[in-house]
């Protein structure tokens, strides 16, 4: 690992430090959890991070991390591999749905996003904020249920997402704001 990471084969730039924890899945497949520190990477300082640094963080992430899920028509082999091996099952296991009627403990399915953004929680300080939180949560749950139905039918497109935004009279920026609120505990 040391030779691989510090030996120049790493694509993220010069790694200054890392920590690795290897875990085994039930089938005996090892996988790693590994935070790494990269020289000259922009540093996030919580809510006080200035906008220029936020922009650099997003650019850094977008340079090295990508998500791409091609349609069945575009690349059927890659589409099916991602669907089979890189997507949390909609059926869920006993482990992820521990209590009947409760959502997946791993918070799947996740909300979609068109672009990378820093999803910081927003302070909920009064009853008006709590009501707004409840309303937004309800809308996001409805949107997610619709997106899941379309995905199960294999007809999900970004225009479907745009139609959902229009249904709730939201802009994409308002949607991102809603995601920030939903990641806040009232």
Mean local confidence (pLDDT), 16-32: 84
Mean local confidence (pLDDT), 52-79: 87
Domain limits of the chain?
95-186
Per-residue pLDDT at 6: 65
What does the DSSP 8-state code read for residue 183?
A: T
Per-residue pLDDT at 109: 65
Going by C-alpha positions, the residue among 166, 63, 175, 183 that lies closest to residue 122 is: 183
Per-residue pLDDT at 56: 96
Helix (H, G, I), strand (E, B) or coil at 117: coil
Instruction: Say if residue 54's pLDDT is above 60.
Output: yes
Mean local confidence (pLDDT), 23-45: 86
Instruction: Say if residue 87's pLDDT is above 60.
Output: yes
Q: What is the pTM of this model?
A: 0.69
Per-residue pLDDT at 12: 76
């Amino acid at each position: 690992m040391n030779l691989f990471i510090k030996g120049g084969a790493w694509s993220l730039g010069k790694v200054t430090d890392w920590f690795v924890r290897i875990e085994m899945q039930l089938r005996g497949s090892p996988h790693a959890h590994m935070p790494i520190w990269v020289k000259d990477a922009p540093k996030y300082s919580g809510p006080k991070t200035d906008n220029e640094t936020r922009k650099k963080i997003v650019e850094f992430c977008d340079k090295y991390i990508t998500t791409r899920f091609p349609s069945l028509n575009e690349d059927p082999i890659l589409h099916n591999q991602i669907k089979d091996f890189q997507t949390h099952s909609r059926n869920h296991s006993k482990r992820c749905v521990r209590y009947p009627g409760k959502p997946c403990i791993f918070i799947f399915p996740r909300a979609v996003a068109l672009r990378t953004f820093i999803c910081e929680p927003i302070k909920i300080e009064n009853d008006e904020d709590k009501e707004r939180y409840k309303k937004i949560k309800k809308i996001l749950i409805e949107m997610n249920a619709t997106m899941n139905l379309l995905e199960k039918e294999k007809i999900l497109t970004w225009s479907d997402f745009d139609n959902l935004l229009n249904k709730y009279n939201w802009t994409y920026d308002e949607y991102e704001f809603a995601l920030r609120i939903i990641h806040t505990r009232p």
